[in-house]
Amino acid sequence: MIRILLLAILAVLVTGCSIFGDDDTPIDPPAELPDFEASLKVSRVWDVRIGGGTEHLMLALSPVADGGRVYAGSHDGKAIAVDAENGRIVWAVNTKLEFAAGPAVGEGLVVFGTSGGEVVALDALEGTARWRVDVTGEVLAAPAIARGTVVVRTVDGRLRALDAADGTEFWNIEQTVPRLSLRGTSAPVISGSAVISGFANGRIASYDLDDGDIRWENVIAPPSGRTELERLADIDGSIVVIDQDLYTGSYAGRVASIAAESGQVLWSQEVSTYRTLGVDWSSLYATDLESHVSGLSRASGAVLWTQEALHMRDVTSPTPYETSIVVGDFEGYVHWLNAATGDIEARSRVHSAAISGRPTVAGDLVFVQSESGRLAAFRAKRPGSD
């Protein structure tokens, strides 16, 4: 019940809709789309229908590109593989389950998590069922797959390692879950022989992939405040690992760079986010609680720029694309921002429904999934670049 109440509170904060009074006056309304001079030419390459819509469910369904294909799924259990270049459907299946997270791709598998607490593995080549297991807790983050293992985070604070061959559980660990937390979980990441994950109690930890033994644990932003709402410290965005460093953010107000081997915090910056960070060779990109997008230095965490024009538009995690950053919003718009300055460079639209999952980039294409169950591919070019 507490989680449901918090979801309602956050929905009010994000959409800016008043729950008081008779005139429905917005508390903090979403910004109107600003005018700008386009410096990129964006074209829709293709789009396909995946399945049923998922509006307002706050699910972690985002497309994944791998080996010339794009894999995606809808809340009503439909999964597809399409040719990344032309959108031709390679295979499509209907599991009749309620997908809530994924897919993840690896070890010849396409893996989804469900609202009913199941993990489902499909054959990546043909889409046929490989295995299905019950993990007891709702899965709201994409699994991680590597070295013959599928690692899954569930909302009950558990991290489970499953055999990629048949779903048999190798080990599981548990972190405490606060009475009040955000609806969502951090997706685990496998780095070498370790698996790293963030948790709702503000902790990030590294475990041995083979046996689940803990390697290190750290608190990015300790819960503080007198009320449970003030003490929210969830790490819900995916951990991003680049070389020997990892990057993460927390709802409690910190973005941090951490040494992957030791867990030592290298630097931290005051930015409150429950989204996954975008990372390129020199910078980090973060979407904060007011949908302001910021660029930060990877070396020091210093804020380089902040774009506030998309205020309260429920902007997605930012995804680097060539020299731009791509985000989606609650009305189905896709925005291209200049990676160096944050200036808006282009805008397109998937559908009128919200985009909640992070855009995915492969080659010169951007793949975006809307909550209406549509998957679209875009390409952006600068004038005169042909």
Residue 238 confidence class, pLDDT cut points 50, 70, 90: confident
Give the angle 171-177-180 at the CA atoms, nearest 5°.
Answer: 155
Please state the φ and ψ torsions of residue 6, each to the nearest 5 degrees.
-65, -40
37, with CB counted inside 10 A (0-12, 13-18, 19+), is: exposed
The sheet carrying 254-259 orders its strands as 240-242, 245-250, 254-259, 265-269
State the fold for domain 2-381. Methylamine Dehydrogenase; Chain H (2.130.10)
pLDDT digits (tens, 9 = 90+) for 307-361: 999 999 999 999 999 999 999 999 999 999 999 999 999 999 998 889 988 999 9
The ranges assigned to domains in the chain are 2-381
Spell out the alpha helix ranges (H) of the chain. Answer: 2-15
Contact 276, 290 (CB under 8 A): no
> What does the pLDDT look like over 59-115, one tens digit per residue?
668 999 998 999 999 999 999 999 999 999 999 999 999 999 999 999 999 999 999
Q: How far apart are CA 206 and CA 198, in angstroms?
A: 9
The dihedral formed by the CA atoms of 203, 138, 236 and 99, expressed in degrees to the nearest 10 = 150
With beta carbons less than 8 A apart as the criterion, state whether 69 and 81 touch: yes
Q: Tell me the two tokens of residue 130.
A: 């490989």
Are 302 and 284 a contacting pair, CB within 8 Å?
Answer: no
Residue 316 CA to residue 139 CA, distance in Å, equals 19
- From the list 237, 227, 234, 240, the residue with the least C-alpha distance to 253 is 234
- The pTM score is 0.87
Beta-sheet pairing, 89-94 with 99-106: unpaired
Nearest to 131, CA basis, from 123, 139, 121: 121
Instruction: State the chain's mean pLDDT as an integer.
Output: 86
